[in-house]
Amino acid sequence: MVEIRWHGRGGQGAKTAAILFGEVAVSYGKYIQAFPEYGPERRGAPVRAFNRLDDNPILLHSPIDEPDVVVVLDQSLIEPAKVVEGLKEDGILLINTPDQPAEVRKKYKIKGKKISTVDASKISKETIGKELPNTPLLGALVKITRFVEFDRMVKDLKIQFKKKFRGNEKLIKGNINSLERAYKEVVSE
Amino acid sequence: MPLKALTGNESMAEAMRQINPDVVAAYPITPATEVVQIFSSFVADGLVDTEFVAVESEHSAMSACVGAAAAGARVMTSTASQGLALMHEVLYVAAGLRLPIVLCEINRSLSAPINIHCDHSDTMGSRDAGWIQIFSENVQETYDNVIQAMKIAESSRIPALVTTDGFILSHCLERIEVLEDSEVQSFIGEYKPAYSLLDIENPITVGPLDLQDYYFEHKRQEIEAMREAKKSIEKVNKEFGDRFRRRYDFFESYKLNGAEIAIVALGSTAGTAKVAIDSLREEGKKVGLLKLRVFRPFPYEKLCEVLQKFKVVAVLDRSDSMSSTGGPVFTEARSALYDLTTRPRFVNYIYGLGGREITESDIKKVANEALKISKTGKIKELVQYLGVRE
């Protein structure tokens, strides 16, 4: 079983990313869970969302304390939200930042783990037209983890986006482009 | 069967859409709001034939449900926590009038202090109201239980309440297999009410005054109906299993064979307990789980049969009955085994109030303590509080 923890700020789409990822994985026949953490919900406040992914039924219904992957939608959360806490020793830390993995490691004194970075904010601004780092991060996540096949995910997400954006072609295309760019641009150590 | 990714709330609304009830009267409350909201969008989009009654409170919601059901309609609603508490008075009316209403209930704590998260206090507060109560471990069971509840309620003429755990399941997306609309319809069949206020050829009186002379006889019949409902539940479980290959019973036995001690749990915690038990079994510890699914009617005969062989039974309760001697599941399970000449020792753990998390290691702790009691025969404390700061 693989466990993912998403860190974002209210409004950045951490919950949506977890749900979209769960829906894609189900279309592959995987067993999944996607759930947000419910606290006081305010735009801009730190929020977390979670995914579990497995080939067998998932029985656990407890919080995820030791994830395999941590995805950070907002670099400013790295220290205050203790994003590294509980991340497995060989776990992956995927961060939305213009910095290179080595720079992030040095700046925040992160020991061990594998660090990947992608400038999801910039990509989303250039493709979708506003700062929505969640979709591009999905593309980067799939590149570094290979949980699902990228081409098929794009196909599945096109269907989801059609529903979500009520056929708005510009938004659908922008989101797909953001996925593809992040898939190409993500850098790992 | 089509695979879908649905939350507990979405799965309940989907089951309601497929059941296509005649009347839904409901008032939104966290964490059940989505059930009502999603279903009302089905109504607005013309996907169901339901008359949706938007009311001003849960008391009115259940009252409107009673009226509609007395008129012979197939009726459903949904609520949680304070909402169920506000319905309390009318729950007894629905049961006493033998109206087979189905309620999708999202387990949430009760005020005060104010808390929106999961525990079973709300549902347990209604345990004596005369409703069938079914608990769900995951989203698949939530969905399956709603569909079965409709048929159980109508065949036993007793209202049924299906619960799922607030946020833990209500807002958790999981992979589930849904049935085709036609399969659901053919399973539940057409509803033919035994009596209807609208049947002017056969006029009836509903809810008249019933004093010392007959009230007791009527209540006695209601009690008997609850006993008989066990047969309806068995029949519906079997038919559901035969048709759709997902088997349900009053409870599920998990690795109880060869176990020395048993843990009893209901709802989403049962899943986490299974993981804990798998891990303990690998360590060679003989532990198993009894997941209680149907709490009303209480399956005490079957429980006796299964639990009598254990040395220790540890009951997990997600609510307290404020009796000062443990939670509702504990007192009822323990009482069920009282008449046996050799019976297990029982201990109780109150846990998870107001959404306090429960983990695999919490459950391992319970199992290890039960194993210790089994060895020493000594119980230090009958009722303990798991994961609380004291």
Alpha helices, DSSP H only, in chain A? 14-27, 101-108, 120-127, 134-145, 150-164, 169-185
Nearest CA distance, B168 vs chain A (angstrom): 7
In the predicted model, is pLDDT for residue A36 greater than 80?
Answer: yes
pLDDT at A40: 66
Put simply, the answer to whether A61 touches B168 (Cβ < 8 Å) is yes
For residues B41 and B45, give the distance between their C-alpha atoms in angstroms, rounded to a whole number.
6
Residue B167 touches partner A, C-beta closer than 8 Å: yes
Nearest to A143 by CA among A91, A95, A186, A100: A186
What is the average pLDDT across B179-202? 97
Q: Kindly report whether the peptide bond that precedes residue B299 is cis, defined as omega within 30 degrees of 0.
A: no
- Per cent of chain B over pLDDT 70 is 100
H or E element in which residue B89 lies: helix B81-96
Domains and CATH numbers, chain B: 3-244 (3.40.50.970), 251-386 (3.40.50.920)
DSSP 8-state code for residue A36:
E
Residues from chain A that touch B2, judged by Cβ atoms under 8 A, are none
In the predicted model, is pLDDT for residue A42 greater than 80?
Answer: no
> What strands lie across the sheet with A31-36, from one edge to the other?
A187-188, A114-118, A92-96, A69-72, A2-9, A46-54, A31-36, B173-177, B3-6
Q: Give the CA radius of gyration of chain A.
A: 15
Q: How many CB atoms lie within 10 A of CB B3?
A: 14
CA B7 to chain centre: 17
Facing A36 at nearest CB: one of B169, B171, B274: B171
For residues A150 and A183, give the distance between their C-alpha atoms in angstroms, rounded to a whole number.
8
pLDDT at A41: 66
Question: How many Cβ pairs within 8 Å bridge chains A and B?
Answer: 65
Residue B117 touches partner A, C-beta closer than 8 Å: yes
pLDDT band at residue B180, thresholds of 50, 70 and 90? very high
| DSSP SS3 for B76 | strand
Q: Kindly report whether the peptide bond that precedes residue B149 is cis, defined as omega within 30 degrees of 0.
A: no
For residues A189 and A94, give the distance between their C-alpha atoms in angstroms, rounded to a whole number.
11
Name the pairing type of β-strands B23-26 and B51-54.
parallel
pLDDT at A107: 96
What is the average pLDDT across B236-261? 98
Residue B269 touches partner A, C-beta closer than 8 Å: yes
DSSP 8-state code for residue B48:
S
Residue B301 touches partner A, C-beta closer than 8 Å: no
Q: Which two tokens stand for residue B336?
A: 């069920």
What is the average pLDDT across B28-36? 97
What is the average pLDDT across A114-119? 98
Residue B84 touches partner A, C-beta closer than 8 Å: no
What is the average pLDDT across B160-178? 98
> What strands lie across the sheet with B251-254, from one edge to the other?
B251-254, B287-292, B261-265, B312-317, B345-351, B383-386
Q: Which two tokens stand for residue B34?
A: 């989505």
pLDDT at B173: 98
For residues A41 and A9, give the distance between their C-alpha atoms in angstroms, rounded to a whole number.
10
| DSSP SS3 for B328 | helix
Q: Is the dihedral of CA B28, B30, B33, B35 positive or negative?
A: negative
For residues B203 and B24, give the distance between their C-alpha atoms in angstroms, rounded to a whole number.
25
Residue that is written with structure tokens 């979709």 in the block: A135
Put simply, the answer to whether B274 touches A59 (Cβ < 8 Å) is yes
pLDDT at B47: 98
Domains and CATH numbers, chain A: 2-188 (3.40.920.10)
What is the average pLDDT across A118-132? 96
What is the average pLDDT across B125-137? 98
What is the average pLDDT across B75-104? 98
Put simply, the answer to whether A60 touches B116 (Cβ < 8 Å) is no
| DSSP SS3 for A16 | helix
Q: Is the dihedral of CA B188, B189, B192, B198 positive or negative?
A: positive
Burial of A99 by CB count in 10 Å (0-12 exposed, 13-18 middle, 19+ buried)?
middle
| Orientation angle between helical segments A169-185 and A134-145, nearest 10 degrees | 40
pLDDT at B91: 98
Residue B358 touches partner A, C-beta closer than 8 Å: yes
Q: Which two tokens stand for residue A54?
A: 């497995």
Burial of B271 by CB count in 10 Å (0-12 exposed, 13-18 middle, 19+ buried)?
buried
pLDDT at B1: 78
Put simply, the answer to whether B359 touches A63 (Cβ < 8 Å) is yes
What is the average pLDDT across B332-347? 96
Whole-complex ipTM? 0.95
What is the average pLDDT across A89-112? 96
pLDDT at B169: 98
- Per cent of chain B over pLDDT 90 is 99
In the predicted model, is pLDDT for residue B75 greater than 90?
Answer: yes
What is the average pLDDT across A117-137? 96
In the predicted model, is pLDDT for residue A39 greater than 90?
Answer: no
Mean pLDDT, chain B, whole residue set: 97
Q: Which two tokens stand for residue B251?
A: 């409870």
